Structure 1
Amino acid sequence: MKKILLIVLGSISLGLGVIGIFLPVIPTTPFLLLSLWLYMRSSKKLYNFVLTNKYLGPYVNDYISGKGIPIKAKKKAIFLIWLTIGFSTIFIIGKAILKVMLLSIATIVSAYIWTRKTRKVK
């Protein structure tokens, strides 16, 4: 049962990552990394599919191999996080506690992304 749940969650995350390729508001790489993490614990076949896929692999291979994340990708991800969270907190969310929670999440995720190793672009 656990394996099936992990595969379903990984597939949802993979779907969101693929959508993020076409919609700049959704970050691609974090969803693909989450998919890999879930697939690593449930299906080596799906894990290898993402890593070797000619469209999806480039988003995650540098990070997985330890080379890091390109600075451009870091800046884009952080910008999009703050754009979407900012929009939500200003125009959609009414309760102050939810705004604080969203802003806290955005801060933590931004700090995490920024502190990951930066890949040197040649």
Structure 2
Amino acid sequence: MTMPHKALYAIFGWAFFATGVIGAFLPVLPTTPFMILALWMFSKSSQRFHDWLYHHKLFGPSLQRWQQHRVIPLKAKLLSVSMISFSLVLMLVYSSIPPWAKAGVTLFMLYGAAYVLSKPSQPPGEKSP
């Protein structure tokens, strides 16, 4: 990969990381998806930053569970589906976009919710709390 491409991946990696950190403090912005994106961007640009994030004290465990088992914790699922539902209702009630656009957005959001719900909530063999 050429140097400008690596730099672009690194810039996006840090941007996603920063967004994920902000999401740790704002309840309406998720953290983990942005950290997953940052981890992927770092895998394309810097093994050092990838390893740092993958083994990070705070963010590392959820990234490791995702990478190893594609796990989305139950709390994250509930928050995600709740925010999708809330956003969908607001859009359907208050938006003036055409009906075909509302239908498209609704299908996209339903697909996202189905994807989140289709993933396990814990790694195989781990007991429920």
TM (norm. structure 2) is 0.77
Letter in 2 for 1:53: H
Report % sequence identity: 27
Structure 1 residue corresponding to 2:103, chosen from 75, 85, 100: 100
- Alignment check: 8 A CA contact 1:24 1:80 kept: no
Q: Deviations over 1:32-91 (max 9, x none)?
A: 111111211221111112111112223322212227222222111221233345435544
Which segments of 5 or more consecutive residues in structure 1 lack a partner in the other structure?
none
- Alignment check: 8 A CA contact 2:14 2:38 kept: yes
Q: Which has the larger displacement, 20-29 or 96-105?
A: 96-105
SS of 1:53's equivalent?
A: coil
Q: Deviations over 1:5-29 (max 9, x none)?
A: 1111121111111111100101111
SS of 1:113's equivalent?
A: helix
TM (norm. structure 1) is 0.81
Between structure 1 and structure 2, the one with the greater Rg is 2
Counterpart CA distance in 2 for 1:48 and 1:85 is 37
Aligned-CA RMSD value: 2.2
Which segments of 5 or more consecutive residues in structure 2 lack a partner in the other structure?
none
- Alignment check: 8 A CA contact 2:70 2:119 kept: no
Structure 1 residue corresponding to 2:66, chosen from 43, 63, 67: 63
